[in-house]
Structure 1
Amino acid sequence: MALDAIDPLPEAEFWRDLLGLQIIWQNDDFVALRGAAVLITVQRVADHRPPNWPTGEVPKQLHLELAVADLDDGERAAVALGATRASAQPSPDRWRVLIDPAGHPFCVTNQIPEP
């Protein structure tokens, strides 16, 4: 999961403390957290409106960043399961932006630091 914030460190410290995570990498603009387990839930929302990323009246709210060793393989695997490639690709050599079946953007990336 990737969260937008005006000041990343306090936001990261909140999630670190709430979920028992560890800060594994940080700079002024980005903080990476890791934990032993993650819970993702999916619930039905009758009037769900998918985000209009990267512009539009419905913002992305949040998106997942999934670590992969190879971007092409990671993208192919996600597409095979029903994802689509987003038309906007800000940095396709480092991140591939994909859209899940419900319309949420997420990324596969080879930029997650190794432990």
Structure 2
Amino acid sequence: MTTKASLLAFTIDCSDPKALAGFYHQVTGMEITYAEDEYAAIGDGTVSIYFGRVPDRKPVTWPSPDKQFHFDFRVPDVERAVEEYVALGATKPDFQPGVTEEGTRWVVLQDPQGHLFCVCPEPA
């Protein structure tokens, strides 16, 4: 049997850890637990998201095979959340595979450092 692990944290490379921690603090409500120029963190007491400074990091283009990860967040109102997250500094790429003639299944956004995340509706 394989030893089961519990997720402690997820680390994201970025050029401005404090700013990105502030962005995701606003999006998730997780508390900023550490904020320095080289490293920052947010967490909920169980899981944390860490942000490490990589000065020359370049954002991926979307769509492309360069995407390495993305977050999926559930929200009660996708349109409102997208408006709020864009106001916080996210961008909305033109390519939106989750928006079809039948409706919005999810919206792809890029955070201020260019990492992708999806805004998904809560289950009906």
TM over 0.5: yes
Match of 1:19 in 2: 7
Match of 2:118 in 1: 107
Q: 1:36 to 1:95 in 2, by over 3 A?
A: farther
Which stretches of structure 1, 4 residues or more, deviate above 2 A after TM superposition? 16-20, 35-38
Partner Cα separation in structure 2 for residue 62 and residue 44 of structure 1: 18
Partner Cα separation in structure 2 for residue 81 and residue 107 of structure 1: 15
TM-score, normalising length: structure 2: 0.58
Task: Work out which of the residue numbers 57, 60, 64 in structure 2 matches 1:48.
Answer: 57
The runs of 5 or more residues in structure 1 that have no matched partner are: 1-12, 21-34
Matches within 5 A, 1:1-115: 17-19=5-7, 37-55=46-64, 59-92=66-99, 93-110=104-121, 113=123
Partner Cα separation in structure 1 for residue 45 and residue 105 of structure 2: 25
Name the aligned partner's letter for residue 88 of structure 1: F
TM-score, normalising length: structure 1: 0.62
The runs of 5 or more residues in structure 2 that have no matched partner are: 9-43
Name the aligned partner's letter for residue 89 of structure 1: Q
RMSD: 2.7
